[in-house]
Amino acid sequence: MHEGHGEVAIAWYRPDGKRKSAQDWPHSRAFALLLSDPGQHPSAVTICINGLDAGQTFHLPAPAAGCHWQLAWCSTEDGTLNERSASVPAVSIAVLLSMPDEHR
């Protein structure tokens, strides 16, 4: 993760919500990318990529204090979002935004 004033933090996650390691990449077909910049709105974006032939549940990192995840876009109509997980259909991409709780 890269952090600093005016820099975007980048983190890669497995569907189970754990950070990806070098050993996770060779055969990885489902993963999430978290981009965050506390000085921007939205402060974080998570892109869930499912290249599997079946749907995949992604356990999401905790949003910033006072925020929640909102499903902004999915490449199919079947993507869903719960409080801390997103269900992404087979061979699909979902984009989630960290939104202030007052926008619920």
- Percentage of the residues of the chain whose pLDDT score is greater than 90: 73
Average pLDDT over the chain, rounded to an integer: 90
The answer to whether residue 74 scores a pLDDT higher than 90 is: yes
Name the CATH code of domain 9-103 (choices 2.70.98.20, 3.30.300.30, 3.30.1340.30, 2.60.40.1180): 2.60.40.1180
Give pLDDT, residue 65.
86
The whole model's pTM is what?
0.89
Q: Locate 92 and state its tokens.
A: 């699909």
Closest CA to 20 of 29, 31, 9: 31
Q: Per the omega criterion (within 30 degrees of 0), is the bond before 42 cis?
A: yes
Strand order in the sheet with 92-100: 9-13, 30-36, 44-50, 92-100, 67-74
